[in-house]
Amino acid sequence: MSYASVSDMVTRFGEAELLRLAMTPAGELDDAAITVALQDASALIDGYLAGRYPLPLAHVPSALVPICADIARHRLYGEQAPEQIAKRYEAALAFLKSVGKGELALGLAADGEQVESQNLAQLQSDGRIFGRGTGGFL
């Protein structure tokens, strides 16, 4: 299971960049090459998550989509990855290491299900300031 899709890659990085990295002889986007990079990135992510969450995850946390895309993009560039892309790759690995150590959470329960937040907003108001009995004065 991939944590991101080819369309996620196109949305995040643009078709022009992906065509430079993965183009068929016919000049079209090579979905197969991008899918392989996404699967490799997802396998790497699974390696970091395996100690904390049962795999495969029932719900893909939204935080993993850009992480997977950044890792796959770095893999597509190979040794020619520009510094910015290499830094994003290193940041993605640092994020995964923090998740693996338990320093960061993905919002999933121990069984891999999404956790419902208990931190809901609560509002409370005082009584009315202006009413019929006050005559418009405080």
pLDDT at 113 over 70: no
The predicted structure's pLDDT at residue 107: 79
> What pLDDT digit, counting tens, does each position of 12-45 carry?
999 999 999 999 999 999 999 999 999 999 999 9
Identify the residue with better confidence: 132 or 59: 59
* pTM (two decimals): 0.78
User: Residue 108: beta bridge partners?
Assistant: 114
The predicted structure's pLDDT at residue 51: 86
CA distance 103 to 16: 37
CA distance 71 to 81: 11
C-alpha angle with apex 75: 74 to 77, nearest 5 degrees? 65
